[in-house]
Amino acid sequence: MDELKKLDGSGVIVTAEGKEVDFVSRFFAPNAGVDEDPVTGSAHCTLVPYWKDKLNKNELIALQLSERSGKLYCTDLGETVKMSGEAVSYLEGYINV
């Protein structure tokens, strides 16, 4: 993490073609206070168009290989990326105005 903190930018995405899914990734953002984000939707907004072009397909299955991990079902819609998958609730709260 010390070496990643020396880099400019808010995060580092590492990706590779998958064996059982279309692609895999990891996302590190130590300068933002997150050594490794378990499942990063914003990173997949960059990864999906990249892998769409590489694999020549619009619908992709992605796996983020963090300790918790997460599988995302992604569709490139041109200007946007549609994502779905399972979520883990970690906080519930109420705001009184």
Which domains are seen in the chain, by residue range? 2-83 (3.10.310.10)
Q: Average the pLDDT over 1-25 and give the result.
A: 90
pTM for this model (two decimals): 0.83
pLDDT computed for residue 16 by the predictor: 97
Q: What is the pLDDT of residues 66-89, one digit of tens each?
A: 888 899 999 999 999 999 998 777
Q: Can you list the positions of beta strands (E) in 1-97?
A: 12-17, 23-29, 34-37, 59-64, 70-76, 81-85
pLDDT computed for residue 27 by the predictor: 93
Q: What percent of the chain has pLDDT over 90?
A: 61
